[in-house]
Structure 1
């Protein structure tokens, strides 16, 4: 049986927002965060420390403001919060542990483009999305970072193209041809 995960710290939060540009202005001008990256006009990644992001903002569809108060993807508010683990091996062990205990895994294991972090997202008893992540890009004076705009494509969501997902992956445009793992 897999061992219970041992998070190192609370990591980042992702919020669904009605107006991405207005929210970015607020968190930069009023809160003092810095922009790390964008995924076109769909997401913004902001930081106050060394992690590539400690806050990400996701644009919701125009009808999102009308959705119900309980969490459903695409409504305003919290999308997920995260806890840092130490490595891919720890995330894999956490996935096994969660599965053994009947916890619903939502997405992952994967590797995001912006931030380059590994991810595994699962539901708590109230349906909130919680994430284990590891290996996020660190931004320091010795390792400065230049923001970029990522295309809203599979590489931004999962650089591994769902190869390590432990649940069925979401529908995502044209699927790459399966690679021969024995090459």
Structure 2
């Protein structure tokens, strides 16, 4: 297996009770395109992304994060990852096999130490996508996924050891210690991040816009649609990206962002950013200062753990 088997973030899968309301939000408000539907499953693409889908919704009585999916370079990397996970006594949901989701491919699923399901796949056929035009305020791609963990140090070590993620930066507090680890699998500052939280859950899913103009127009469209803004607009220090955090109809935090930093692997050194410095959370000073109330907005509901979704 290559030292860095994970190439990129593919998609995030969510289960929700009010399936139709969630479908309407991701198409009518958030700007994704529904590309496939099969009963209680719906698949949504970002028009600027070659991924067949970046969000999958599944109808279920329980709200949960079904899984987070990453890409691998080759089927050999998928097989080698499976062998490494088995040798490390990591519980597999299923061994490498052909996938029957849009785009196909070859992949496996397993539980990370927190109990969430992770999928890693290769050979997924690219989707015909297009250039997002100037002032077109829809997502280009899925930017990153952030999860809450009550054991973030353990989770960071797992993703570094088994999936080859590298630490880009850390948020910390003198009172509470390390609060967030930003992890990269390519030159983007982070595709995955781990936040210290009271329980295991989705912190937020972030969607990249074409530029600041499109990011602001998308933020405005969501606001005009009555979507609840929980934080922003602003610009983080770690990653240097813009942020507008909203709640989807089931209380999951979704973010519009743009201009995420691209790092030089040969020269980058992880930094530690103090959250008590207001510039760490928002360089612009346009968002409300980070507070306990704002932080709780991203805690989300406790997730369903060590139980694989039915599909």
Which residue is 2:196 aligned to? 59
Residue pair 2:219, 2:256 contacting (<8 A) in 1 also: no
Q: What is the Cα deviation at residue 171 of structure 1?
A: 5.5
Give the root-mean-square deviation of aligned CA atoms: 1.9
Residue pair 2:145, 2:206 contacting (<8 A) in 1 also: yes
Task: Give the TM-score of the pair, scaled to structure 1.
Answer: 0.76
Residue pair 1:4, 1:97 contacting (<8 A) in 2 also: no
Which residue is 1:18 aligned to? 150
Report whether the alignment pairs 1:45 with 2:182. Answer: yes
Q: What is the Cα deviation at residue 5 of structure 1?
A: 2.7
**Greater percentage in strand:** 2
1:35 to 164, 167, 171: 167
Which residue is 2:211 aligned to? 87
- Inter-partner Cα distance in structure 1 for 2:169 and 2:291: 21
Q: What is the Cα deviation at residue 35 of structure 1?
A: 0.5
Report the 3-state secondary structure (helix = DSSP H, G, I; strand = E; otherwise coil) of the residue aligned with 1:49. Answer: coil
Report the 3-state secondary structure (helix = DSSP H, G, I; strand = E; otherwise coil) of the residue aligned with 1:120. Answer: strand
Residue pair 2:227, 2:246 contacting (<8 A) in 1 also: yes
**Number of residues of Structure 1 aligned to a counterpart in Structure 2:** 152
Report the 3-state secondary structure (helix = DSSP H, G, I; strand = E; otherwise coil) of the residue aligned with 2:256. Answer: strand
1:114 to 227, 235, 238: 238
Task: Give the TM-score of the pair, scaled to structure 2.
Answer: 0.46
Larger Rg: 2
Q: Could you give the per-residue CA deviations for residues 13-60 of structure 1, whole angstroms, max 9, x where no partner exists?
A: 111111121111011011110000111211100000121001111112
Name stretches of at least 5 consecutive residues in structure 2 with no aligned partner: 1-134, 173-177, 293-311
Q: What is the Cα deviation at residue 148 of structure 1?
A: 0.8
Greater RCO, CA 8 A, separation 6+: 1
